[in-house]
Amino acid sequence: MPTTLADHRRRRLLAAAAAAAVTPTLRAAPPAATSRRPALVLAGPPAAVGWPLIRMVDSGALAAVAERVELRFWKDPDQLRLLALGGQAEVLALPTNVAAMLHARGVKLRLVNVATWGVLWLVSRTPGPRTLADFRGAEIAMPFRGDMPDIVFRLVAARQGLDALRDFRLRYVASPFDAMQLLLLRQVEHALLSEPAVSLGIRRAGALPLVGLTLHRAVDLQQEWGRAFGRAPRIPQAGIALLGAAADDAVLTAAVQRAYAEALAGCEAAPDACAATAAARQPMLDAAAVADSIRADNTAFATAQAARAELEFFFDQLHRQDPGLVGGRLPPSTFYGG
């Protein structure tokens, strides 16, 4: 059955309840901080996995472990890798496979949680919902070649007997927002987008002067993943990693886990307030669209240890498709923290 936004709202409430249930466990007997860091840099994308970071900074949730907490945004995979390779952040929100890739390349890093379980949709100018097979031969705008969401699309397509490069006409672009613009300008019929670009595109399509243009959530990639692999319709897509010396700091890890779980639950419980703070820091975003994206997303806090089985399945599928997608080898047990 197709997934409706009502289904996503139910998931959001369940996710908030799950995060709230986890938080007391994380809060129990936290290690005592012996000293505060002079500075702590958090970095993430303007997307679901990054919204809690804003709340953490604004609320002073990490004041016990750092005198000053700074937030930086990355907007594409190249910026993300520069942040990690240059040691420019201690707490980094990122796709889980990129965390595995960086670890394999020698970056001192530990994944501590998974929070985003798939925010990918095939958006179309014609009504749906449908399946990927219905788009055979179609041109699809695709952001971030070789990264999410391209790799998930290829995996699901291959599992369904489709070749992503032969059975579709993929038009690669720099970002989800570029793909969304092509839809709005009627230059493509379909695009694979992640939130918040999906919600932003749907809202912009309904606004003047774009009269008569309607965008549709045609395919839920999470549902397609579940059908293709016979698993739950969710993908361990993104989470939080600690880098450098921070990766071995038990006090900092506990504080980040606790603060992130609480901030995620807060965003899910109050999407409008969370969206307002996001839009204040990223003027290109529309607060109403961000709130829509929070209501539609698939977020739930899980430590990397708790999510390890799902992560290992995901990484194994990526490794089978192209070992380079996880850095050439599967992560060792020391990669999983939390």
pLDDT on residue 128: 73
> Regarding the domain delimited by 5-117+234-335, which CATH topology (the fold level of the hierarchy) does it fall under?
D-Maltodextrin-Binding Protein; domain 2 (3.40.190)
User: pTM of the predicted model, to two decimals?
Assistant: 0.88
| Cα 80 → chain centroid | 13
Q: Do the Cβ atoms of 184 and 125 come closer than 8 Å?
A: no
For the chain, count helices (H), then strands (E). 12, 11
- C-alpha 101 chain-centroid distance: 16
Q: What pLDDT was estimated at residue 148? A: 84
Q: What is the pLDDT of residue 146?
A: 87
In this prediction, residue 305 carries a pLDDT of 97
Determine the pLDDT at residue 16. Answer: 45
The average confidence (pLDDT) of the chain is 90
What residues does each domain of the chain span? 5-117+234-335, 120-229
| Model pLDDT, residue 208 | 63
| Positions in the chain short of pLDDT 50 | 1-3, 13-21, 23-25, 28-33
- C-alpha to C-alpha distance for 240 and 221, rounded to whole angstroms: 22
How far is residue 148 from each of residues 122, 158, 176, 221, 235, measured CA to CA in Å? 13, 16, 10, 12, 11
192 bridge partner residues: 122
Residue 95 confidence (pLDDT): 95
Per-residue DSSP letter, 334:
G
* pLDDT given at position 4: 52
- Coil, strand or helix at 137: coil
Convert the pLDDT of each residue in 73-128 to its tens digit: 999 889 999 999 999 999 999 999 999 999 999 999 999 999 999 999 999 998 87
pLDDT at 206: 82
Across the chain, the runs of DSSP E, i.e. the strands, are 40-44, 69-73, 91-95, 109-116, 120-124, 139-143, 169-173, 190-194, 216-220, 238-243, 299-303
Thinking of the domain 120-229, which architecture would CATH place it in? 3-Layer(aba) Sandwich (3.40)
Return the structure tokens found at 141: 């705008």
Which structure tokens are listed for 239? 């989470």
